[in-house]
Structure 1
Amino acid sequence: MPSSPNSALPANPTALPEIHWVEADQPRSARWRSERGLPAPTKVVLADDTLSADSAYRLVCAGTSLLWRGDFHNARQLLQALGRRVDQVPKRKRKQAATPIPLAEVFNQYRLAQAQRARLLGQLLIEFNPDYSVLLRRAPDVKVACSEAWGEPDLQTGNSVASLRELLGMTSAHEWRRVGIEIPALGEAPHNRIHPHYSVFSPVRGEYIQLVATAHLPKPPKGQDQITAFDIGTGTGVLAGVLAQRGVGHVVATELDARALACANDNIAQLGLKQRVEVLQADLFPPGRASLIVCNPPWLPARPTSPIEHAVYDEGSRMLKGFLAGLLAHLEPKGEGWLILSNLAEHLGLRSRDELLALFEANGLRVISRVDAKPVHPKASDTTDALHHARSQEVTSLWRLADNTSK
């Protein structure tokens, strides 16, 4: 999925708020970093290896943040222990409701629980030196991971503090970026890898990539040998790369988010496709027209709460509606728009099929055909997942759309 135009940019260190605490009877402060844009904690106490998980849990539940001064690996273990306590459901809440809860309400409860979990686990904090090093026992070297997420360090700005959970997310993203993800539709290994950057959604759901890799391409305009394609909201650039590998003569990939732009440019260069794929900063469409316009918008019409969630949640269906509203103005005669969309929103009661079809009709579009694929990601078969009933019925579709006045 693409990274949304609303994704946050790396924070300017000089504009970051400050976090304050007392240490050795002296007031201390540092710059506060939060990808979610959360305010700096106001209640901060020092914590180390002597703090039990139960005591830590009581403190974070009371709104107190823990600035870690002990062993780094013990901090990770404490975070896991806190996670287990957060995930424990009281027995009285495990009883099945007398009447079935609407799936939309189940979804809302799920998101509230996830937000509460993120808030509590985000209260275990780590201090960073200006060069992003961490002076804790057994702390790994995280300077490269932090630089990839936050930008190059400014040694004049002083120390900073962020949650351990956020740091682990950055180090995990660094490994994804270093190793990459093999995409069979991009050709033979080892030259078929996509390297996602921090906060740019990884193309781990292969079914939508395979749909683009196998759908029938439209014919070139009269007098031309090849087609031009637009990839709207390119994210990592994976779909633009697949289109180019399929023989599309020229692909214009658009993205508004700065991190995603850098990610797409890097991936297109690494794949050796810069002569055929142009990456532009744009909100949805680039100038001009194309025979094929592809868009894989976020699939769920809900409000994102972090940069990475912009790839999943599209508040008010902004990107979906913007794509459909502008499609005809950018299509060549007899061109096609390919909309890649899961029906999970339908199964969750967030958007009906009739509403989607009405959007097509309202924007002068007809459906040429629809190609479906069942997801194979682990959550689709995870019976313990709160949204399993909806996920088990999910289908990802490639809708081939055209001007309803052309046949």
Structure 2
Amino acid sequence: MSTIHWTTGHTHHSARWHSEIAAPLPQRTVVADDRMKANDAYRQACEGTALLWQGDFHNARQLLRAMGRRLDRKSPRTSTSLSEAFHLHRRSSSHRALVLGKLLVVLDDDFRLALRRAPDVRQACLEAYGPLRGPTAVSLRELLGVIGAHQWRLKGVDVPALGTRIHPHYGVFAPVRGEYVDLVAHTPLPPETRHSPATSTAFDLGTGTGVLAAVLARRGINRVVATDINPRALTCAKENAHRLALTDRIEVSGPGLFPEGRADLIVCNPPWLPARPTSPIERGVYDPDSAMLHSFLAGLSAHLRPGGEGWLILSDLAEHLGLRTRPQLLDAIQAARLRVVDKIDTKPQHPRARDATDPLHAARSAETTSLWRLTA
């Protein structure tokens, strides 16, 4: 188990090291408090030194913001293409996470944060981390994410297609982009599903919060099997099915992609960008080498009932960024011996599509999200 060590006065201390983004164990850790200047903190963090905070909690947040502003002042390289802009953006985001992740706090056995004016983070940390075994050091930036995720879990995310809220868990992608949910809510169901609703079955692969499984169940499908490779997502989907009183129709299965058997409708909303995620929440956005996309296409025919359809929900943002071409997608569909019945398009409504200051604005403003209806 990785352990960090530090000294206060003549006393030596240690704590388990935990990082959700798998950041390496700091090679050097020093104590920092309210006397720490932002320039000094930024310099030491860039050099790889971890700063274990023992001052006021709100001052630590202010210091973190000040360090972030210093990162923002670094002039980004000009890019000649959207592809280069994307890779520069990812590199910058990774560097930012590593630098800001050097400001640490220690959680006691019961998740108590022994800092002045610190909030009660016990429930938020228990939801994210599970039981602790001894004092644990985490980055303040990560802890703030845990606190924010707890608030989302409590309040939920409004889903107009359901007329209610879905409650995401920490590390599970929240359905904040409603266009893909609306596509599943309004696309006509396959004929076999409409004609025999009492015996209809659907699979929701990569269910996340379970939002699409809930939409399918609300549309009258008798049995929806929701799968995911992320244990946190499986727990989240089960909880949401219970909240919506849909446990008699939604069966959560996994970890894995395809469940046993065949279905009339198989829905998959894989991560849209073929790149490496750097944190748990990014696994809902980035799919290295389009692995999940290809696994879905390769296994679809074997799991469809006669007359059934596979619905692939995919953005073309990767195409605008030069990460994947349309011919490559069509070739993958053909190689899996699948036929495109229809493609239903919609434009994103999220604010980033209209943010001209975003380095990827040209790609985001041209983005289209599509539901591909596929048959064997």
Same fold (TM over 0.5): yes
Where does residue 49 of structure 2 map in the other structure? 64
Alignment partner of 1:264: what SS?
Answer: helix
Indicate which of 73, 93, 99 corresponds to 1:114.
93
Where does residue 257 of structure 1 map in the other structure? 230
Where does residue 277 of structure 1 map in the other structure? 250
Whole-angstrom CA distance in 2 between matches of 1:126 and 1:225? 54
Where does residue 203 of structure 1 map in the other structure? 175
Indicate which of 307, 313, 324 corresponds to 2:280.
307
Aligned sequence identity (%): 57
The alignment covers a number of residue pairs equal to 375
Contact 2:193 2:221 in 1 (8 A): no
Indicate which of 139, 150, 169 corresponds to 2:145.
169
Answering whether residue 265 of structure 2 is matched by residue 292 of structure 1, we say yes
Alignment partner of 1:229: what SS?
Answer: strand
For 2:104, the aligned partner's letter is: L
Whole-angstrom CA distance in 1 between matches of 2:241 and 2:193? 26
1:350 Cα deviation after fit: 0.3
Whole-angstrom CA distance in 2 between matches of 1:139 and 1:222? 55
Answering whether residue 208 of structure 2 is matched by residue 232 of structure 1, we say no
1:182 Cα deviation after fit: 1.2
For 2:15, the aligned partner's letter is: A
Alignment partner of 2:161: what SS?
Answer: helix
Answering whether residue 33 of structure 2 is matched by residue 48 of structure 1, we say yes
TM-score, length basis structure 1: 0.90
Where does residue 80 of structure 2 map in the other structure? 101
Contact 1:20 1:42 in 2 (8 A): no
Where does residue 36 of structure 1 map in the other structure? 21
1:23 Cα deviation after fit: 1.4
Q: Of the two structures, which has the highest relative contact order with CA contacts closer than 8 Å and spacing of 6 or more?
A: 1
For 1:237, the aligned partner's letter is: G
Query: How has the CA–CA distance of structure 1 residues 221 and 271 changed in structure 2, closer, same or farther, with 3 Å as cutoff?
Result: closer
Alignment partner of 2:138: what SS?
Answer: strand
Alignment partner of 2:286: what SS?
Answer: coil
Which range moves more in the overlay, 263-272 or 360-369? 360-369
Alignment partner of 2:233: what SS?
Answer: helix
Per-residue deviation, residues 316-375 of structure 1 (Å, max 9, x unmatched):
111000000000000011110000000000000000001001111111111111111111
1:223 Cα deviation after fit: 8.1
Answering whether residue 3 of structure 2 is matched by residue 18 of structure 1, we say yes
Whole-angstrom CA distance in 2 between matches of 1:70 and 1:221? 61
Output the aligned Cα RMSD. 1.4
Where does residue 316 of structure 1 map in the other structure? 289
Whole-angstrom CA distance in 1 between matches of 2:229 and 2:326? 29
Where does residue 127 of structure 2 map in the other structure? 148
1:77 Cα deviation after fit: 0.5
Contact 2:192 2:264 in 1 (8 A): yes
Whole-angstrom CA distance in 2 between matches of 1:57 and 1:292? 52
Unaligned runs of 5+ in 1: 1-15
Per-residue deviation, residues 256-296 of structure 1 (Å, max 9, x unmatched):
21111100000000000000111111421111111100000
Unaligned runs of 5+ in 2: none
For 2:329, the aligned partner's letter is: L
Whole-angstrom CA distance in 1 between matches of 2:148 and 2:118? 15
Per-residue deviation, residues 364-391 of structure 1 (Å, max 9, x unmatched):
1111111111111111111111111111
1:400 Cα deviation after fit: 0.5
Alignment partner of 1:44: what SS?
Answer: strand
Alignment partner of 2:366: what SS?
Answer: coil
TM-score, length basis structure 2: 0.97
Where does residue 7 of structure 1 map in the other structure? none
Where does residue 166 of structure 2 map in the other structure? 194
Per-residue deviation, residues 202-237 of structure 1 (Å, max 9, x unmatched):
000000000000000012269834421100010100
Where does residue 329 of structure 1 map in the other structure? 302
Alignment partner of 1:186: what SS?
Answer: coil
Where does residue 85 of structure 1 map in the other structure? 70
Contact 2:197 2:220 in 1 (8 A): no
1:89 Cα deviation after fit: 2.9
Contact 1:125 1:164 in 2 (8 A): yes
Whole-angstrom CA distance in 2 between matches of 1:222 and 1:214? 14
1:105 Cα deviation after fit: 1.5
For 2:136, the aligned partner's letter is: S
Whole-angstrom CA distance in 1 between matches of 2:176 and 2:330? 28
